[in-house]
Structure 1
Amino acid sequence: MINISSSALDRLKDTLAEQDNPNLFLRLGVNPGGCSGFSYAMGFDDQESDQDIFMEVSGLKVVVDKNDLRYLNGLEIDFEESGMSGGFTIENPNAIASCGCGQSFKMRDEEGRPEVCD
């Protein structure tokens, strides 16, 4: 299960409403790489695959590739305003460590592909 805070849901739904494509949904995923070995992928998509798992979180369609679900199960997404900026934050109960930027994480049993941090 993926958890999305009300502030993150509001931001995502507002952004979706601004798009010209009513078929868009939120796609979450994991890529090898990043400072700690794995990095998060989050964006809008309208292309579905047989590998996808669909869920609805407070009226928002969320799609995760079934191979990535083991990394993301229990994920908590929030949106925080900070002065003149703001952004999405991710808390992952499956990660044993994460990079200072919050976009990269390390798993206990998988190394991923750690890269030099910029």
Structure 2
Amino acid sequence: MQEQEIVIITEAAAFQIKEMIKENEEEGAVLRVAVHGGGCSGLSYGMGFDHELKEDDIQLSQHGIDFVIDQESAPILRGTVIDYKQSLMGGGFTIDNPNAIASCGCGSSFRTATNTGTPENC
């Protein structure tokens, strides 16, 4: 699998990220996608804007969005699709990770077959 396929950002998600960049005046920032320990199931996703790149970051670009993934998160995120869905209750990002084998009831944390993270009480 190529680096471009570690994480796939849909056009809908890219549009929303571009809007967030404008609204928050984050010009020049890149989107950082990461996995952190924590949550009911042990791992949780992180997405935010960053102005500083780390030496070992994997740099990607899709639909006009520049984003980075750290080396530790890359294998856990391989094949993940980030989308943005609109509903009557508002909109939000969805993350479909084929490596997640279990998630918590609130849907904000997960674990993989090879990484259980650091579960904590929700």
Which deviates further from its counterpart, 80-89 or 47-56?
80-89
Which of 38, 59, 64 is matched with 2:69 structurally?
64
- The amino acid of 1:107's aligned partner reads T
Q: What is aligned with 1:50? A: 55
* Alignment map for 1:20-59 (pairs within 5 Å): 20-59=25-64
Does the 8 A contact of 2:14 with 2:64 survive in 1? no
Q: CA RMSD in A?
A: 1.3
Task: Provide the C-alpha distance between the structure 2 equivalents of 1:21 and 1:80, rounded to a whole number of angstroms.
Answer: 22
What's the counterpart of residue 113 of structure 2?
108
Q: Which of 3, 8, 12 is the equivalent residue of 1:3?
A: 8
Across the two proteins, how many residue pairs are aligned to each other? 117
Which deviates the most, 46-55 or 94-103?
94-103
8 Å CA contact 1:3, 1:76 repeated in 2: yes
- What is the TM-score when the length of structure 2 is the normalising length? 0.88
- The residue that corresponds to 2:91 in the other structure is 86
- Structure 1 Cα separation of the partners of residues 98 and 121 of structure 2: 24
Unaligned runs of 5+ in 1: none
- Identity within the alignment, %: 44
